[in-house]
Amino acid sequence: MEQQSTIAGQKPSNKRSFTDRIFPSLSGTALAAIFIATLLFGFLILPVAKVIYVAFLDPNSGALTLQNFGDFFASSLFRESFFNSFYVSAMSVVLASVFALPLAYITSRFEFSGAALIQSLGFIPLIMPPFVGAIAMQLLFGRNGSFNLMLANYGINIPFMEGLNGVILVQSVHYFPFILINLSASLRNIDRSMEESAQNLGAHGLRLFRRVVFPLAAPGYLAGASLVFIKVFDDLGTPLLLNVNNMLAPQAYLRISSIGISDPMGYVISFILVAFSVFSLWASFLLMRGKDYATTQKGGGGLSRRKLSTRENVVAYGIVIAILALVLSPHIALGLLAFGTIWSYSPLPDGYTLGNFNTMFGQSGAYIKNTLIYAGAAAFLDIILATAIAYIVLRTKIVGRQWLDYMATAALAVPGVVLGIGYLRTFNDFDVPIIGKPLASWWVIIVVALMIRRLPYALRACMAALQQVSLSLEEAAENLGATRSRTIRKVVIPLMSGGILAGFVTSFATAAVELSATIMLVSSNSDAPLAYGIYLFMQTPSGRGAGAALGILAVVIVAAGTMLAQFIIDRERKTRTGDQ
């Protein structure tokens, strides 16, 4: 590697001594890349490989073979499952966009007093506590849920939650915040002058949005859309909730988690999930190749906002409230479940009580504390890693840097149970020095699992943010004498702050309710997070109310944490740009 010189006007020194040829001194970014690659390899690739390698073995003779993959493609059930997964993912992106675009458009184009409402509530659908979230949705939208019971008087029954369409609806409601948050972040980063130039040339309103604003915001939209697509393709929680078995991810899970059967097909499917997810990511890169989304900004001015007339205000509020009511309905149902006594085959609970909260608070102190620590640490580590990977991929010329992105994103495709088993297998024999326990039993491993599983969310947000930062700003900084690390710290990261926040929010919100890897790794109740606490409550019929109460508490805590993060970053942004 050449010596890097960042002092303007000086000829780079090309003399390399003998030792330099053998041990080329690596730049900071190269070292960072190697460190991250090792981290991802050690905590993702290796543990997963230890579990999935079974896919390449012939179960009968133990020899290496690709026959299992042949079996996969020869099986009509698997081919159907593959197609179903693809169809559901694509339609979920479409429906999620339908929810997200109006909200993003309204908040970014207009002086809308409800913007704060959208910003603070828009990510809550991501926080779906395990088990109770599912029950709440069934009680509201199920075939005998509140809506259908009321419609039964008219002889109508709407299959909201049946089959593939049910999966599409639930997934869109659950994951549309990915598009909303990332799209909003990019819209806020577009320079006003771009818009003004277009208006000078005669473009207005919708045409302006379609031709100028939306293309400039494309990195954010594509980040969100690709995340929704890949996540829905790999998600097994919702299909299991709706008992839809003929999709790929639940097929893998059912085969892997059955007791005793050593069926390689579960691992074959896992491998195919990973491969297809990386392929989808690569395909989304093709869409963005060769285009430049950066605008030279003063630092986050954002689009100019038009005032709304009263009538327009009412319409805007109507749309926003309708969409929010739909996407927050599971949480409303969860609230009813938490405060309700018995809710069985009726539109609303039979009665209301605070008893569930009493029960819950009495048992959940440790869970709450652990969740804040685990999810907070995981999200924080995620944004550091994500910023570093985004910088390496987009700003350096290091060989193989794209693979950092692929590796990190592949984590979306790995079922939590596979990661959990992989960690147990890899780290159980590795004793942590001072603590004296195997790494697999130390609570830090849960943080690592959460960090790895949520890294893709932070990464997509940071990539989108960095794509909007113009290279010329960094070059200007370096021309003025800043070293690379100073430039990154003082110029790049502040300009990326919207995306970094988006990454933190999505990582934190989803890490707080993760259960599948956690349940495998928890080795002591005092180390358990909230999601595990909900699992414990949900094992008995009488615990349903307390479980829902804990679920609501999870939502409140995560919402509070993310709003705090938003507040801190927005305040910093305002002092920097000095407006509004």
Partner 1 sequence: MNSTRKTLLAGAALSVIMSTSAMAAEKLVVVTSFPNTLTTPFEAGFEAMYPDIDVEVINKSTSSAVKYIQETASSNTTDLFWASAPDAFEVLKGDNLLVKSGVSNAKIPSDVGGYPINDPDGFYNGFAAAGYGIMYNERYLAAKGLKPALQWDDLAKAEYFGHVGMSAPSRSGTTHLTVETLIQGDGWEEGWAKWKFISGNFSNVTERSFGVPDGVNSGQFGLGIVIDFFGLASRASGFPVDFVYPQTTAIVPANVGIIANAPNEDAAQAFISYLLSVEGQELLMLPDIRRLPVNADAYFNAPEGFPNPFDGSIKASVSFDVNKSGERYNVVNSLFDVMITYRLDDLRAAVRAVQLAEEKLGDSDNAQAKALIAEARALIAEMPIDEAKSLDPDFAAVFKSKRKAATDVIEGRQAEIEQQWDEQVVANYKRATELANEAASLL
Contact residue for partner 1 among 346, 358, 472, 485 (CB under 8 A): 346
Q: How many residues bind partner 1 (CB under 8 A)?
A: 65
The DSSP secondary-structure symbol of 43 reads I
Half-sphere exposure of 542 (CA within 13 A, CB side): 2
Location of structure tokens 């003063």: 298
Give 229 or 537: the residue with its C-beta nearer to partner 1.
537
The phi, psi pair for 8, rounded to 5°, reads: -65, 140
Q: List C-alpha distances in Å: 52 to 264, 265, 326.
A: 9, 10, 39
List beta partners, residue 64.
57
Do 336 and 328 meet the contact criterion of CB atoms below 8 Å apart?
Answer: no
Q: Is 542 in the site for partner 1 (CB under 8 A)?
A: yes
Shortest distance in whole angstroms from residue 203 CB to partner 1: 51
Distance set, CA 502 to CA 125, 159, 190 (Å): 15, 34, 16
Number of C-beta neighbours around residue 298 at 10 A = 12
Instruction: State yes or no: residue 158 binds partner 1 (CB under 8 A).
Output: no
Least distance in angstroms from the C-beta of 85 to partner 1: 15
Residue 373 within binding range of partner 1, rule CB under 8 A: no
Cα distance between the two ends of the chain = 46
Span of 53-61, 295-303, 459-467, 570-578 interacting with partner 1 by CB under 8 A: 53-61
Tell me the C-alpha distance between 182 and 187, whole Å.
9
177 Cβ contact list (under 8 Å, min separation 6): 100, 122, 123, 124, 125, 126, 506
The phi, psi pair for 64, rounded to 5°, reads -70, 140
Residues 264-293 binding partner 1 (CB under 8 A) are 264-265
Among 10, 13, 61, 309, binds partner 1 (CB under 8 A): 61
> 46 or 476, CB closer to partner 1?
46
- Angle, alpha carbons 167-171-174 (nearest 5°): 145
Q: Which is nearer to partner 1, 335 or 438 (CB)?
A: 438
Name the strand (E) or helix (H) holding 1.
none
Applying the rule CB under 8 A, the residues between 401 and 430 that interact with partner 1 are 417, 420-421, 424-425, 428-429
Chosen residue from 345, 362, 365, 397 binding partner 1 by CB under 8 A: 345
- Closest to partner 1 by CB, 259 vs 286, is 259
Candidates 93-101, 119-127, 137-145, 453-461: pick the segment binding partner 1 (CB under 8 A): 137-145
Answer for which of 544, 548, 555, 559 binds partner 1 (CB under 8 A) is 544
**Pick 30 or 170: Cβ nearer partner 1:** 170
Confirm or reject binding of residue 49 to partner 1 (CB under 8 A): no
Q: Token pair of 278, please?
A: 């990386």
Cβ neighbours of 374 (radius 10 Å): 27
Among 9, 202, 541, 578, binds partner 1 (CB under 8 A): 541
Pairwise CA distance, residues 564 & 494, whole Å:
18
| Single residue of 64, 286, 434, 480 touching partner 1 by CB under 8 A | 434
Q: Which two tokens stand for residue 203?
A: 């473009």
Of 180, 247, 447, 522, which lies in the binding site for partner 1, with binding defined by CB under 8 A?
522
Contact 272, 264 (CB under 8 A): no
Name the site residues for partner 1 (rule: CB under 8 A).
Answer: 59-62, 67-68, 71-72, 74-77, 135, 138-139, 142-144, 240, 243, 245-246, 254, 257-265, 341-346, 417, 420-421, 424-425, 428-429, 434-435, 438, 440-441, 519-520, 522-525, 535-536, 538-544
